[in-house]
Structure 1
Amino acid sequence: MTDAPGRTPAASARFAAVLSRPPRTPDVPPGIDPDDFRLALLEDTYEVVAGLELVTSALVLDPPDQPDAEAVTWPGTPIVREPSLTGVFAALHALGAEAAAIIAPDAPDLPPLLVGKLFRALGSAPSAACQAENAGRGLVALAARLPLPGWLTTALHDVDLDTPDALARLRAAAPRPGLMPQGPGWHRLRTVDDLRFLDPGLEGWENTRALLEGHPLTH
């Protein structure tokens, strides 16, 4: 990812944080432990962010005590314990972030390029989003310059990555069009039926792939 001089935030001040928020009622394939499945998705998603060049990876814990989730990170990874997106962005700003992206924990095959596109969009807008393309909608990722503008801080009081119409609500809260551009969409794996989106020929998602071995993907 190449910066446009004078437009995008400094690469060293970019953070990408994966949000670990265990679902209350996980939907998993028969014969697979729900916690193992959740952690496989989380670890693969974290590996996507940890592999980004010139971006600091982080993990967000809500609830704050998740030792199993912390165990999937590389040594030295910043751990943020915040229940709200505004709190997460503020914590990342306190760590030195001038721009940050918060990533859903169930996108193990997310192409790194899509995260890069969100950061690039921040060169001309204060925020950008990647919408989930499958049922349930919500957001795969939300990126913003820091500190957050007031309108976005207010809007995020009632919106998170799981809010089905999150993108529409955030755009409606913006004082003018163009303040929340939409990057290419992707999918999240929230139900067994969502496994059909996984492409066995696509590199990555190794932990999820290993766990699903012997369990045919839903089509």
Structure 2
Amino acid sequence: MAMAEDTYEVIAGLDRVDVAVAVVGGDDAAVAELSALTWPGTPTYAVDPDRPVLHAVELAGPAAAVVTVSYDVPDLPGLLIGKLFRALSHADIAVTPAEDGSLAAVGVKLPVADWISELGPTCDTPLTLLEARKPRRHAVATGPGWHRLRSNADLSRLDPGLEGWDATRSLLRHA
């Protein structure tokens, strides 16, 4: 929850970005728990665990592009999210790859290209699969890489000099 809160705070701080929180496979209790961490009026909803990115895109409503960010990147700089939005001016999909081969963030241009609808990418989709399936050279834009916090060993990746990740930092301090 601390990582999700910090990730939300980074995104909520971006200019000209409307934020929503998608709970993958969540029930009403999980949605309510995350909703309590957001600013009033922030949409919070459950998304299909088999197609979380595309389901979040559907629920986002009218937009030029949607970027989904994994909850386990509490120290992801907002600049990297902004780079995804910019890349979507020419690409069907833009990603921030994670060091473990997964994706820290996935941006999709609307309307969603057929090949992306067929693939149904998630934050666990390997970048190599996107590259193998892209129909043209610039269909996939790859931003700078980052790391996800998926194990205790990953905690060493958190940079104490970076701003943000206050809830995660506080939780670790008291652990």
User: What is the TM-score with the length of structure 2 in the denominator?
Assistant: 0.91
C-alpha displacement of 1:80:
3.2
Q: Report if the CA contact (8 A) 1:141-1:161 is conserved.
A: yes
> How far apart are the structure 2 equivalents of 1:61 and 1:87?
11
Query: 2:44 matched to 1:79?
Result: yes
Tell whether the 8 Å contact from 2:2 to 2:171 is kept in structure 1 after alignment: yes
The structure in which a higher percent of residues are helix is 2
In the superposition, relative to structure 1, how do residues 91 and 214 fare at CA in structure 2: closer, same or farther (>3 Å)? closer
Deviation of 1:214 (Å): 5.1
Match of 2:98 in 1: 132
Unaligned runs of 5+ in 1: 1-38
Alpha-carbon distance in structure 2 between the residues aligned to 1:98 and 1:79 = 20
Out of 136, 145, 160, which is 1:185 matched to?
Answer: 145
Return the alpha-carbon distance in structure 1 between the equivalents of residues 13 and 163 of structure 2: 13
Is structure 2 residue 9 aligned with structure 1 residue 47?
A: yes
Count of residues in Structure 1 that have an aligned counterpart in Structure 2:
169
Q: Indicate the residue corresponding to 1:88 in structure 2.
A: 56
Alpha-carbon distance, 1:64 to partner: 3.6
Alignment match of 2:110 (pick from 114, 123, 146) = 146
- Structure 2: 5+ residue stretches without partners: none
CA distance in 1 between counterparts of 2:158 and 2:54 reads: 31
Which whole-Å CA distance do the structure 2 matches of 1:155 and 1:170 have between them?
A: 8
Tell me which stretches of 4 or more aligned residues in structure 1 moved more than 2 Å: none
1:1-219 equivalent positions in 2, closer than 5 A: 39-62=1-24, 63-65=26-28, 66=30, 67-83=32-48, 84=51, 85-92=53-60, 95-133=61-99, 135=100, 137-156=101-120, 159-163=121-125, 165=126, 167-213=127-173
Q: Secondary structure at the match of 2:42?
A: coil
Is the contact between residue 34 and residue 44 of structure 2 (CA under 8 Å) also seen in structure 1? no
Counterpart code for 2:18: T
Residue type at the aligned position of 1:208: T
SS in 1 for 2:58: helix
RMSD, aligned CA: 1.3
Conservation of the 8 A alpha-carbon contact between 1:64 and 1:82: no
Q: Give the greater-gyration-radius structure (CA).
A: 1
Q: Percent identity?
A: 44
Note if contact 1:52-1:112 (Cα within 8 Å) is conserved in structure 2. Answer: yes
TM-aligned CA deviation for residue 79 of structure 1: 2.1
Q: What SS is found at the alignment partner of 1:175?
A: coil
Q: Deviations over 1:178-208 (max 9, x none)?
A: 1001000111101000001111111110000
